[in-house]
């Protein structure tokens, strides 16, 4: 016997999602995975559920602006996948049990797997890739350099440096 | 009511094989809450499908993790084969199972060593790893690599193992049993080991089901869940397979489940070698995955059920490839076991899910 | 139940030789399949460039005008793709692996100089080929002239 045949992929409408989730929860199925994939105009999401041998994958597409209700109230271990999908694809979930708000994976570029997500477009418009990289740790600005004077005026220079407010110990 | 403090655990910690961070809210040495944080080893490997064609990506999939290396190359190969509708020769399926079970033995021995180190029994840790070297020697003789094997590819396996070599492997594994029996006795019967493991990190069966725990972590709490039961690949030719299950749900049960699985794997390898058919071990692949094709597959890795997903787009590069590792499922269960435990038991509880964070974050 | 279950094993190990080797003082034992570094038999190599294209880390560089084949051993991941892809089977995986060093380095191999007999044979073959082409061209020109004259 080879691998699972047939592979069960069910195309659903996004609005059926909560009904289907409730159905799986009542039947005692186990939550397996959320997988995102960038498509034209949005993200295609695949939710997988399993009850031992049977494995069903629900497939639907959401646009980049849609906000999806979280399933972590019924399936507590979904918080991991929802945070990950938010960080990598920019899909927004509302009501995740432990919400890292974009800080789950520290990525250099926002939503690296989906360059057209709302977060990526906003960061590109504001040119804030650098800020996303460093977070609360600001890059220190260099101290202003005054023009060198012919006679040794070291005392005046150090007075200028300390007046910029940076304390150097 | 005592004062609450927040203690950071990790990302560097001697007990963790890979970096993970926990914020422990404690009150008088008892943990009230644990908030996990990951992301220290995220390398964005899933995006490399756009750069490496589907035959070369198996090399990337292998290098995601050092402990489950063969498992990921096997899961990737099986998923792409399901995507393209390729039938693998029977001998290749049997060889894959042999290597995968050897991989399970080496992973469990590694974990047993780390567990011993976690409660301070360094001698036991060293002995477990010394025994593991025998398995790594087998890997080196059959594939050339100790950790990264490069043995599995889409269409079969890269090289063959002669039947005489296979018989030699079974003899060596049988010779390991007596030494392994002594280690097993220490883990399961020693008074000091038991005092650190029994009753620690209890997870009831209902909780394990609610948090969808997989692998030995779930089986120790009574869930009878093992992908090998479903008979994919050459596992379907086993005479009988029953997962090792315990109902105690504490650290001792998890140790027992994994320790007994090593013996079960040796038996599986023996059965596979007895029944292995002759024939080709590989086949040439032509073409590329079709546009709009989807496939998914599951594998029982040493840590639990691992789910793979692949999507093709007509070119030789896959559109999307996803690995959902067992550790990402077990994190929620781990956070649950940490609630209410003592501070000294935190490393033990974290270790009992067998965290493999590098495959979780890819 | 009880304690000190490892006593027997510990005492036994006390009188056995250690399981570890004093590497690099003692040479490691390699198996026939051990993966170390890739080397090329330059006599057989036809500089076809297939190994360079197959290498996933771009460790191999082939330079046809200079007749060299070079590999960056520190980039090689020992995947054997080049060895399997070579049409002349001139690449082999040697078991001993690259030693640690302070800087990365590339190993470059040149095609060997031809012996005088081989050079003479090669020149004779080229001369014969040139004569054949000239004869065929002359015959074709004669045929074309005859066809033009008959019209």
A107/B296 Cβ within 8 A: no
Per DSSP, the three-state class of A60 is strand
Q: Tokens 């849609």, residue?
A: A66
Contact call for C and B: 3+ CB–CB distances under 8 Å: yes
Q: Which residue in chain B has the smallest CA separation from C8?
A: B182
Average pLDDT over residues B244-267: 89
Average pLDDT over residues A89-109: 80
- CB of B37 within 8 Å of any CB in chain A? yes
Most confident of A64-68, B60-64, B285-289: B60-64
Give the whole-angstrom CA distance, residue C151 versus residue C144: 11
Give pLDDT tens digits for A57-85: 888 888 878 888 888 888 888 888 888 88
Assess: ipTM above 0.85: no
Average pLDDT over residues C57-78: 88
Say if B70 falls within a structural domain: yes
B140/C56 Cβ within 8 A: no
Say if B1 falls within a structural domain: no
Out of A1, A57, A75, whose CB is closest to B296?
A: A57
Which of B154, B289, B324, B358 is most worth mutating to test chain A (most A CB atoms within 10 A of its CB)? B324
A57/B294 Cβ within 8 A: yes
Say if A99 falls within a structural domain: yes
Which one has a higher pLDDT value, A140 or B254? B254
B56/C2 Cβ within 8 A: no
Which of B46, B87, B209, B329 is most worth mutating to test chain A (most A CB atoms within 10 A of its CB)? B329
Give the domain CATH number at A112: 3.30.460.80
**Residue C45: CA count within 13 A, CB half-sphere:** 24
Which of B116, B140, B187 is most worth mutating to test chain C (most C CB atoms within 10 A of its CB)? B140
Return the structure tokens found at A68.
Answer: 């999806």
Give pLDDT, residue B105: 92
Say if A82 falls within a structural domain: yes
Q: Tokens 């203690």, residue?
A: B7
What's the number of domains chain A is made of?
1
Q: Which residue in chain B has the smallest CA separation from C77?
A: B59
Q: Tokens 């004077």, residue?
A: A149
Does the structure show a pLDDT above 70 at A127? no
Average pLDDT over residues C22-51: 85
Say if A168 falls within a structural domain: no
B47/A4 Cβ within 8 A: no
Residues 6+ positions from C38 with CB-CB distance below 8 Å? C60, C71, C73, C76, C78, C82, C83, C91, C92, C93, C94
- CB of B331 within 8 Å of any CB in chain A? yes
Structural domain of B250: 42-361
Q: Where residue B171 falls among pLDDT bands split at 50, 70, 90?
A: very high
Q: Where residue A2 falls among pLDDT bands split at 50, 70, 90?
A: low
| C-beta atoms surrounding A112 within 10 Å | 19
Q: Which residue in chain A has the smallest CA separation from B42?
A: A105
Residue A67 per-residue DSSP state:
E
Say if A37 falls within a structural domain: yes
Residues in chain B closer than 8 A to C78 (CB atoms):
144-145, 150
Give pLDDT, residue B101: 92
Does the structure show a pLDDT above 70 at A154? no
Give the whole-angstrom CA distance, residue B152 versus residue B133: 22
Average pLDDT over residues B351-361: 83
Say if B239 falls within a structural domain: yes
Say if A3 falls within a structural domain: no
Residue in B80, B58, B73 with CA at minimum distance from that of residue B293: B80
- Distance to chain B for C87, nearest Cα, Å: 16
Give the whole-angstrom CA distance, residue B326 versus residue C122: 63
Which H or E run contains A83?
helix A79-89
Least confident of A79-88, A131-140, B272-281, C71-80: A131-140
Out of B59, B143, B145, whose CB is closest to C56?
A: B59
Say if A1 falls within a structural domain: no
Give the whole-angstrom CA distance, residue B91 versus residue B162: 11
Say if B32 falls within a structural domain: no
What's the number of domains chain B is made of?
1
Helix, strand, coil abundance in chain C, percent, nearest 5: 35, 15, 50
Q: Which of residues 9-48 of A touch B (CB under 8 A)?
A: 9, 28, 30-33, 35, 37-38, 46, 48
- CB of A1 within 8 Å of any CB in chain B? yes
Return the structure tokens found at B210.
Answer: 């609610």
Q: Which residue in chain B has the smallest CA separation from A81?
A: B328
Say if B30 falls within a structural domain: no
- CB of C42 within 8 Å of any CB in chain B? no
Say if B53 falls within a structural domain: yes
Give pLDDT, residue B102: 92
Q: Which residue in chain A has the smallest CA separation from B41?
A: A105
What would the DSSP string read from start to end of B289-318?
PPEEEEEEEEEEETTEEEEEEEEEESSSS-
Which H or E run contains A160?
helix A154-163
Out of A4, A30, A52, whose CB is closest to B212?
A: A30
Residues in chain A closer than 8 A to B319 (CB atoms):
37
Q: Which residue in chain B has the smallest CA separation from C13?
A: B127
- CB of B189 within 8 Å of any CB in chain C? yes
Give the domain CATH number at B166: 1.10.645.10
Q: Which of residues 67-96 of A touch B (CB under 8 A)?
A: 75-77, 79-81
Q: Which residue in chain B has the smallest CA separation from A105?
A: B39
Say if A167 falls within a structural domain: no
Give pLDDT, residue A151: 45
Out of C6, C34, C80, whose CB is closest to B140?
A: C34
- CB of B47 within 8 Å of any CB in chain A? yes
Q: Tokens 């979930």, residue?
A: A93
Give pLDDT, residue A38: 84
Q: Tokens 């570029």, residue?
A: A109
Q: Where residue C3 falls among pLDDT bands split at 50, 70, 90?
A: confident
Say if A127 falls within a structural domain: yes
Give the whole-angstrom CA distance, residue B44 versus residue B306: 18
Out of B56, B145, B192, whose CB is closest to C3?
A: B192
B320/A35 Cβ within 8 A: yes
Structural domain of A99: 8-134
């Amino acid at each position: 016997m080879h691998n699972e045949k047939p592979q069960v992929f069910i195309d659903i409408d996004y609005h059926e999602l909560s009904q289907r989730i409730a159905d799986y929860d009542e039947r005692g199925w186990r939550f397996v995975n959320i997988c995102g994939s960038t498509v034209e105009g949005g993200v295609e999401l695949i939710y997988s559920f399993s009850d031992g041998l049977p494995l069903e994958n629900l497939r639907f597409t959401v646009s980049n602006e849609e906000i999806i209700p979280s399933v972590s109230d019924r399936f507590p271990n979904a918080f991991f996948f929802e945070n990950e999908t938010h960080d990598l694809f920019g899909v927004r979930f509302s009501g995740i049990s432990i919400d890292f708000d974009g800080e789950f994976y520290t990525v250099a570029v926002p939503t690296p797997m989906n360059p057209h997500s709302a977060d990526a477009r906003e960061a590109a418009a504001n040119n804030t890739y650098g800020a996303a990289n460093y977070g609360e740790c600001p890059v220190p600005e260099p101290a202003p350099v005054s023009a060198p004077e012919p006679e040794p005026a070291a005392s005046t220079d150090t007075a200028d440096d300390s007046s910029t407010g940076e304390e150097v110990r | 009511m005592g004062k609450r403090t927040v203690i950071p655990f990790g990302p560097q910690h001697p007990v963790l094989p890979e970096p993970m961070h926990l914020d422990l809210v404690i009150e008088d040495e008892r943990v009230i809450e644990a908030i996990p944080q990951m992301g220290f080893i995220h390398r964005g490997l899933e995006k490399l499908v756009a750069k490496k064609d589907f035959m070369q990506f198996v090399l990337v999939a292998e290098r995601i993790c050092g402990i489950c290396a063969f498992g990921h190359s096997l899961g990737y190969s099986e998923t792409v084969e399901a995507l393209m509708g390729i039938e693998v020769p029977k001998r290749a399926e049997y060889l894959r199972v042999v290597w995968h079970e050897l991989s399970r033995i080496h992973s469990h021995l590694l974990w047993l060593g780390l567990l011993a180190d976690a409660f301070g029994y360094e001698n036991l840790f060293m002995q477990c790893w010394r025994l593991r070297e025998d398995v790594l020697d087998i890997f080196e003789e059959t594939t050339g690599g100790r950790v990264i094997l490069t043995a599995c590819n889409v269409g079969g396996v890269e090289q063959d193992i002669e039947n005489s070599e296979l018989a030699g492997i079974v003899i060596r594994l049988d010779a390991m049993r007596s030494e392994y029996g002594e280690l097993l006795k220490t883990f399961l019967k020693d008074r000091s080991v038991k005092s650190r493991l029994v009753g620690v990190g209890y997870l009831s069966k209902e909780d394990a089901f609610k948090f969808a725990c997989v692998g030995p972590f779930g089986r120790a709490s009574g869930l009878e869940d093992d992908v090998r039961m479903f008979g994919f690949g050459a596992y379907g030719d086993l005479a009988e397979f029953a997962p090792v299950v315990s109902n105690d749900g504490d650290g001792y049960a998890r140790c027992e489940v994994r320790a007994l699985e090593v013996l079960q794997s040796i038996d599986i390898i023996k059965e596979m070698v007895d029944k292995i058919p002759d024939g080709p071990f590989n086949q040439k692949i032509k073409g590329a995955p079709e546009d709009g094709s989807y496939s998914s597959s599951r594998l029982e890795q040493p840590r639990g059920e691992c789910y793979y997903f692949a999507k093709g787009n007509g070119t030789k590069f896959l559109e999307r490839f996803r690995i959902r590792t067992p550790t990402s499922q077990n994190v929620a269960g781990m956070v649950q076991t940490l609630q209410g435990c003592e501070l000294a038991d935190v490393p033990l509880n974290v270790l009992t899910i067998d965290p493999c964070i590098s495959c979780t974050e890819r | 139940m009880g304690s000190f279950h490892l006593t027997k094993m510990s005492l036994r190990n006390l009188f056995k030789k250690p399981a570890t080797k004093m590497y690099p003082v003692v040479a490691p034992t390699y198996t026939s399949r051990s993966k170390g570094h890739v080397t090329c038999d330059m006599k057989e190599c036809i500089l076809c460039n297939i190994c360079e294209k197959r290498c996933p880390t771009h460790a191999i560089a082939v330079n046809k005008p200079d007749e060299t084949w070079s590999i960056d051993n520190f980039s090689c991941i020992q995947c054997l793709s080049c060895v399997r892809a070579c049409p002349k089977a001139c690449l082999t995986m040697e078991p001993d692996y690259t030693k640690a060093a302070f800087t990365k380095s590339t190993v470059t191999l040149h095609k060997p100089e031809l012996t005088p007999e081989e050079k003479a044979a090669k020149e004779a073959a080229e001369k014969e080929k040139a004569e054949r082409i000239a004869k065929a061209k002359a015959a074709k020109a004669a045929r074309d002239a005859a066809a033009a004259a008959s019209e």
